[in-house]
Amino acid sequence: MTGLETVPILRYILYVRIFKKAWFTRFADKEGITNGELIEAVNRLEAGQADANLGGGVYKVRVARPGEGRAGGYRVIVFFRSEERAFFAYGFAKSDRDNIDERELRVFKERAKEAFSFTDEEIRDLLKKGTLIEV
């Protein structure tokens, strides 16, 4: 024995299906938010690093403006269920508004519940119609 024995490391990759709603896709394209940044946001959610857990599977995460940091960038509403699915639903620039209101939060919670109930067949149909775009 040399003292340099290797220890096997077990690694696994979580496969979370990530979707953008049509409205969010237009917002992200206009603002220059890339799919890579959305994947990074989901990785932070998987790691338990949400900026805010709003309840009912609704999370708020920060996404950086291109060439800047996350603090003054965008706030993004994501419907997220660990190890399953993430739906990017809404986004806004921090400079445009401070937060969503209670009415919007109630609607987001209802929409999240609906999104999490989609069957694979329903998701396929929504993808075909362009209502959802898979990242």
pLDDT, position 36: 93
Q: Say if residue 13's pLDDT is above 80.
A: no
pLDDT, position 1: 46
pTM: 0.85
pLDDT tens readout for residues 66-125: 777 666 789 999 999 998 999 999 999 988 898 999 999 999 999 999 999 999 999 999
Domain ranges (residues) in the chain: 17-134
pLDDT, position 64: 86
Q: Say if residue 14's pLDDT is above 80.
A: no
Q: How far apart, in whole angstroms, are the C-alpha atoms of residue 105 and residue 90?
A: 11
Q: Closest Cα partner for 57 from 87, 81, 86?
A: 81
pLDDT tens readout for residues 15-68: 799 999 999 999 999 999 999 999 999 999 999 999 999 999 999 999 988 777
Q: How far apart, in whole angstroms, are the C-alpha atoms of residue 132 and residue 85?
A: 12
Q: Give first-to-last CA distance, the chain, whole Å.
A: 48
Residue, of 98 and 126, whose pLDDT is higher: 126
